[in-house]
Chain A
């Protein structure tokens, strides 16, 4: 009976996770972290060879031989870690969510064994501003441009009692006409390209677009298929990128708040 269900539900303690715990958390995402002082040219080449999506590459930058890790292409398969002899571990912390495309890429000087990219945004920064960021409501419309449904499963989790996005005034709306932000998942398929553009047009300005997941950021494992057009930014302008295959709910929260922070900072 309805009463029994409500009573049983009320007897459970609230499992809600504080936002401070969520920011930068990436447990379960399998995102890789490079251990710079273990890098050698030989190992770097092994990592590149092991990567199925070309997220890892070796390139010359200002006369230095660099290892490039493009998180937007990474599907977290763990093959680099297997081949790395300890130079790649699963990340414990990941803040490159909701950032620009350039910021999803990291570079390490292989011979110098040091990272040469600017540091990622610190979740401390967002933490300090969190109350000003969350003063206003944000209406989010999720748009599946051809995803496998993995990202949808994690976005749906944002509304469960652990993440409870509504507590921040962020809610998912049914129509793009009610939205401030489009959360776009999947590689854009040929068959969805027209609908993606029409949905973007239907969102009133000012609007924010966030590309979610390896497929949304880069095409992911589907890059190069005859049936897809490409990443989300091949079809509509994108303000922020959230890597992951799929990104965990904590990474999604971090990313949505980072996009807001950058917007407010402008």
Chain B
């Protein structure tokens, strides 16, 4: 797209432009991958915009620009920036000039124009009624199918608007943020310690990745070293979460093609792991474990070893059943060539996680930006190039094996000593952290003063990956949408926050 391409949704964004952003280059040549764009308030409540790029191992690069005037959109050069810039506008009211689509993202028809939660008072925001226009695809025989926000199943809410010809999807428009809970604003004023509990409630099935990522951002901000024992237990928890998530995903894929015996098998393996986790640390999803400074309580080494044994058993069982499932011809028939996301589209949209790796992009925060105990362990990163449902399934199966191995290694060499270092900070501090969550690179940016959070931005992998869904489903039949959606397995709440 160039400057002259007509806007899909014309807007009248104007304003005096601040300094232009020079897009950074990656160390190995080519444009750097966009990680996050978010706003914050500087001295005297002046608005700033932060751009985070991955310029190559091991550091991220952060560029901060003043944004009291208008901002020039970079969404034409980097389509992956489009949602970030819309969020920036919804939260801070920053004019984004030249953006192809600035319809409201976070707030729906009920939110009044001109109220920006990060800069305004939002105690009692009136209900309003504004109009929202979906993209209209016109032509002979084109029908619209509206799905959601309430879906048929035990699933989170979101709206999908399909434009179809017969069974074939021409265009999918996503309208999400039904579960938007104003989480980033809620962080403000919380003690740095209490923020971990809010982070745990951002995305329920990878709450530990959120808690660890938040804690690391706080530790980086305060210059705290976490004791080796806490880092090792965190690694076990993060890999445990990934293993559970991936087993659950393979089961979910089987459900969506009606292979219920295999689906039940996967849910049984998942439940056996969750119960083993209760025996080890009293929680099924590792809530209330991570806190800035380390762990909220120490673990019993013998129980960690028992958990590792349960993981080894479940992982062996999973490898066998997964091989049988993916070797089943009718499964191959459904999974192969469905929902292809090309490497080019994945790069344009700055996609992360297993979705990126299934489309031939070799990235993994554990290896590229090591944190905690990850530097001590070699990490194999499975990458395939087909970009279809089968590729995403295979990547997850391979990753589950790596996770199980990492848990064995970390449990075997569990260091002794304390599991907590007190976090103290009085001055104004900032910290950034990334974690490879089961869905991909998760980032927290934290600013605190006097021991209280003043700003916390969450860049969830789902926020980055959702737009790629529209690309992957185009040309597929609508009946394959649930399967393709499951193969992405994106979090709504993590995206909407």
Which residues of A pack against B, CB within 8 Å?
Answer: 1-2, 4-6, 8-9, 12, 15, 27-28, 30, 52, 75-78, 82, 90, 142-157, 159-162, 172, 174-176, 186-187, 189-195, 199, 215, 220-222, 224-228, 245-246, 248
Partner of B288, one of A78, A147, A194: A78
Partner of B108, one of A142, A143, A146, A191: A191
Asked if B262 is at the interface (CB within 8 A of a chain A CB), the reply is yes
Asked if B492 is at the interface (CB within 8 A of a chain A CB), the reply is yes
Known: A147-B156, A174-B153. A226 touches B123 (CB 8 A): yes
Residues in B neighbouring A155, C-beta threshold 8 A:
154
CA distance A186 to B262 in the complex (A): 30
Partner of A225, one of B185, B202, B277, B285: B185
Cβ distance A203 to chain B, nearest Cβ, rounded Å: 12
Known: A144-B157, A174-B152, A227-B182. A52 touches B125 (CB 8 A): no
Assess whether A150 is in contact with B201, with CB atoms less than 8 Å apart.
yes
Assess whether B261 is in contact with A9, with CB atoms less than 8 Å apart.
yes
Residues in A neighbouring B185, C-beta threshold 8 A:
225-227
CA distance A222 to B179 in the complex (A): 12
Asked if B319 is at the interface (CB within 8 A of a chain A CB), the reply is no
Known: A8-B324, A78-B288. A160 touches B271 (CB 8 A): yes
Which residues of B pack against A, CB within 8 Å?
Answer: 106-108, 110-111, 117, 122-123, 125, 149-150, 152-157, 177-183, 185-186, 190, 194, 197-198, 201-205, 207, 259, 261-262, 264-265, 267-268, 270-272, 274-275, 277-278, 282-285, 287-288, 296-297, 320-321, 324-325, 327-330, 491-494
Cβ distance A116 to chain B, nearest Cβ, rounded Å: 29
Assess whether A149 is in contact with B491, with CB atoms less than 8 Å apart.
yes
Residues in A neighbouring B297, C-beta threshold 8 A:
78
Known: A5-B324, A226-B182. A221 touches B274 (CB 8 A): no
The total of interchain contacts (Cβ-Cβ below 8 angstroms) comes to: 199
Known: A4-B324, A162-B268. A222 touches B183 (CB 8 A): yes
Partner of B265, one of A5, A27, A145: A5
Assess whether A147 is in contact with B198, with CB atoms less than 8 Å apart.
no
Residues in A neighbouring B275, C-beta threshold 8 A:
28, 162
15 example contacts (A-B, Cβ-Cβ < 8 A) are as follows: A2-B330, A28-B283, A76-B288, A144-B155, A148-B203, A148-B493, A152-B156, A154-B284, A156-B154, A157-B274, A191-B177, A195-B178, A221-B201, A222-B182, A246-B204
Assess whether B156 is in contact with A9, with CB atoms less than 8 Å apart.
no
CA distance A193 to B330 in the complex (A): 41
Closest residue of B by beta carbon distance from A157: B271
CA distance A28 to B65 in the complex (A): 46
CA distance A172 to B277 in the complex (A): 27
- Return the 5 tightest CB-CB contacts between A and B, nearest first: A150-B204, A227-B182, A174-B152, A226-B122, A160-B267
Assess whether A147 is in contact with B204, with CB atoms less than 8 Å apart.
yes
Cβ distance B237 to chain A, nearest Cβ, rounded Å: 15
Cβ distance A207 to chain B, nearest Cβ, rounded Å: 15
Interface of B is mostly: loop
Assess whether A195 is in contact with B150, with CB atoms less than 8 Å apart.
yes
With most chain A CB atoms within 10 A of its CB, the pick from B181, B182, B201 is B181
Residues in A neighbouring B264, C-beta threshold 8 A:
9, 160-161
Residues in B neighbouring A154, C-beta threshold 8 A:
284
Residues in A neighbouring B202, C-beta threshold 8 A:
148
Residues in A neighbouring B154, C-beta threshold 8 A:
142, 152, 155-156, 172
CA distance A142 to B153 in the complex (A): 7
Residues in B neighbouring A90, C-beta threshold 8 A:
282
Cβ distance B272 to chain A, nearest Cβ, rounded Å: 8
Assess whether A144 is in contact with B268, with CB atoms less than 8 Å apart.
no
CA distance A15 to B342 in the complex (A): 42
Assess whether A190 is in contact with B150, with CB atoms less than 8 Å apart.
no
Residues in A neighbouring B296, C-beta threshold 8 A:
78, 82
Cβ distance A149 to chain B, nearest Cβ, rounded Å: 4
Cβ distance A22 to chain B, nearest Cβ, rounded Å: 13
Residues in B neighbouring A193, C-beta threshold 8 A:
110
Known: A150-B285, A195-B150, A225-B185. A160 touches B268 (CB 8 A): yes
